[in-house]
């Protein structure tokens, strides 16, 4: 039985940061990263908070937030006796705040904390999902957490906040959006509602990501990408993700590659794997997935006279987009040494099989399939 709940109120468009003016008499725990402080962008938040509020700023968030930072955040949150968390930053700040809220509830029994998420990148869709990804930096492992308690009450999508994102981060995070949309569309849990969200997100990415990359001040492109990120988040909150994210979580942590870039490197090869016919993998199933990819191709105006050529068109369009965004197309180009890659690949394949995202992939992979995908991604 499918059930879809939309718990988060979404304020979208230019000027929506003004929504913050409506919070009064709160003890606000602000979770952010050092960039927001150094750049002065955090003042956009403080200018809008009423004097009746008390604030504590926790700004120790780093990309791929580690467990220790989350633990420190939980303690501080408890001591400060916050009744509202505002997470402002990229996916890392929002994910860290979500994990803090969850552990404050489980460990400190803090039940009534409200939560507002304000993304400053257009990538993870974390502002509307029950997912959070936390890292163990010593073991180089990422742990995806899934719990509805982490869903924000409110998300504020103001494109003004993304104008300062540098082009290469725009590219990485934009490809994360595309991967969310495509994985949601072919997930074994996909339905008509998630399809609509994923398809629209994908259309927006192909149309507006190159523009946002070329000119960060193109506010229309920024706004569309911010909405695309949220739409893709809503889609995969229904369907979960797939093998692409399963591998990216493990490989990204091992090779220290940003999340969106890792997804982008894998995407063509995971699509080819999912759509491929191999002995032992039912032809009908593979054709069904291939036909789904072809549907996506058609929706962005690519040639797809049959499923096979639809898949080929989609893969080519993704590679073309990567070139437009001047992104690496192999892991080798990212500077990963061949010896390290060879030592790690079986461990990565085994880790990816255990990752929760892999469970909703349309094709069940064996470790050897994942090694093959990794080999192609390393040097194709």
Ligand X SMILES: NC(=O)c1ccc[n+]([C@@H]2O[C@H](COP(=O)([O-])OP(=O)(O)OC[C@H]3O[C@@H](n4cnc5c(N)ncnc54)[C@H](O)[C@@H]3O)[C@@H](O)[C@H]2O)c1
Residue nearest to Fe ion (CB): 176
Which is nearest to 185 in space by CA: 92, 351, 300? Answer: 300
Shortest reach from residue 362's CB to ligand X, in Å: 20
Q: Which stretch binds ligand X (CB under 6 A): 46-54, 86-94, 206-214, 295-303?
A: 86-94
- Whether the Cβ atoms of residue 131 and residue 145 lie closer than 8 Å to each other: yes
Q: Which stretch binds ligand X (CB under 6 A): 108-116, 161-169, 320-328, 330-338?
A: 161-169
Q: Identify each DSSP E strand in 42-106 by its residue range.
A: 54-58, 84-89
By CB under 6 A, residue 89 contacts ligand X: yes
Which is nearest to 182 in space by CA: 227, 243, 120, 95? Answer: 243
Residue nearest to ligand X (CB): 90
- Whether the Cβ atoms of residue 251 and residue 374 lie closer than 8 Å to each other: yes
Residue 365 contacts which entry, ligand X, Fe ion, none (Cβ below 5-8 A, type-dependent): none
Options 173, 244, 264, 322; binder of ligand X; rule CB under 6 A: 173
Which is nearest to 292 in space by CA: 269, 279, 266, 310? Answer: 310
Within a 10 A sphere around the Cβ of 72, how many other Cβ atoms? 14
Cα Rg of the chain, angstroms: 20
State how far the Cα of 126 lies from the Cα of 8, in Å rounded to an integer.
11
* 183, burial (CB in 10 Å: exposed 0-12, middle 13-18, buried 19+): buried
By CB under 6 A, residue 174 contacts ligand X: no
State the DSSP code for 159.
Answer: G
Please report which helix (H) or strand (E) contains residue 28, including its range.
Answer: strand 27-32
Residue 56 contacts which entry, Fe ion, ligand X, none (Cβ below 5-8 A, type-dependent): none
Please report which helix (H) or strand (E) contains residue 133, including its range.
Answer: strand 131-136
Shortest reach from residue 309's CB to ligand X, in Å: 31
Binders in 149-178 for Fe ion, by CB under 5 A: 176
Residue 232 contacts which entry, ligand X, Fe ion, none (Cβ below 5-8 A, type-dependent): none
Options 120, 244, 358, 361; binder of ligand X; rule CB under 6 A: 120
By CB under 6 A, residue 126 contacts ligand X: yes
Residue 92 contacts which entry, Fe ion, ligand X, none (Cβ below 5-8 A, type-dependent): ligand X
Binders in 217-246 for ligand X, by CB under 6 A: none
State the DSSP code for 189.
Answer: T
State how far the Cα of 213 lies from the Cα of 188, in Å rounded to an integer.
32
Binders in 250-289 for ligand X, by CB under 6 A: 259-260
By CB under 6 A, residue 162 contacts ligand X: yes
Residue 16 contacts which entry, ligand X, Fe ion, none (Cβ below 5-8 A, type-dependent): none
> What SS3 state is found at 166?
coil
Shortest reach from residue 177's CB to Fe ion, in Å: 8
Looking up tokens 């460990």 gives 107
> Please, which residue, 35 or 105, has the CB nearer to ligand X?
35
Residue 251 contacts which entry, ligand X, Fe ion, none (Cβ below 5-8 A, type-dependent): none
- Binding residues for Fe ion, rule: CB under 5 A, are 176
- Binding residues for ligand X, rule: CB under 6 A, are 33, 35, 63-64, 89-93, 95, 120-121, 123-126, 129, 131-133, 161-162, 164-165, 169, 173, 176, 259-260
């Amino acid at each position: 039985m499918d059930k879809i709940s939309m718990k988060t109120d979404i304020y979208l468009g230019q000027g929506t940061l003004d929504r913050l003016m409506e919070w009064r008499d709160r003890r606000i725990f602000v979770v952010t990263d050092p960039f927001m402080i150094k750049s002065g962008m955090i003042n956009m938040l403080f200018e809008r908070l009423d004097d009746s509020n008390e604030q504590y700023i926790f700004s120790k968030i780093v990309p791929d937030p580690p467990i220790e930072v989350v633990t420190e955040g939980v303690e501080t949150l408890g001591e400060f006796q916050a009744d509202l968390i505002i997470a402002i930053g990229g996916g890392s700040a929002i994910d860290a705040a979500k994990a803090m809220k969850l552990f404050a509830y489980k460990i400190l029994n803090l039940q009534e904390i409200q939560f507002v998420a304000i993304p400053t990148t257009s990538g993870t869709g974390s502002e509307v999902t029950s997912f959070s990804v936390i890292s163990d930096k010593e073991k180089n492992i990422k742990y995806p957490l899934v719990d509805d308690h982490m869903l924000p009450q409110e998300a504020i999508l103001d494109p003004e906040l993304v104008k300062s994102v540098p082009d290469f981060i725009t590219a990485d995070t934009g490809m994360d959006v595309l991967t969310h949309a495509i994985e949601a569309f072919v997930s074994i849990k996909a339905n008509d509602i998630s399809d609509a969200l994923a398809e629209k997100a994908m259309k927006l990415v192909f149309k507006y990501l190159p523009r946002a990359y070329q000119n960060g001040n193109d506010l229309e492109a920024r706004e569309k990408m911010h909405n695309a990120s949220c739409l893709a988040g809503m889609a995969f909150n229904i369907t979960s993700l797939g093998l692409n994210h399963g591998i990216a979580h493990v490989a990204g942590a091992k090779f220290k590659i940003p999340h969106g870039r890792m997804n982008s490197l894998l995407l063509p090869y995971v699509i080819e794997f999912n759509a491929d016919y191999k002995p032992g993998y039912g032809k009908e199933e593979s054709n069904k997935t291939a036909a789904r990819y072809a549907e996506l191709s058609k929706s962005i105006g690519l040639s797809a006279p049959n499923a096979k050529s639809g898949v080929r068109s989609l893969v080519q369009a993704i590679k073309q987009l990567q070139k437009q965004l001047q992104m690496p197309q192999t892991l080798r180009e990212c500077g990963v040494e061949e010896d390290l890659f060879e030592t790690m690949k079986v461990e990565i394949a085994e880790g990816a099989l255990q990752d929760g995202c892999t469970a909703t992939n349309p094709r069940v992979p064996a470790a050897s399939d994942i090694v093959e995908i990794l080999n192609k991604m390393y040097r194709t």
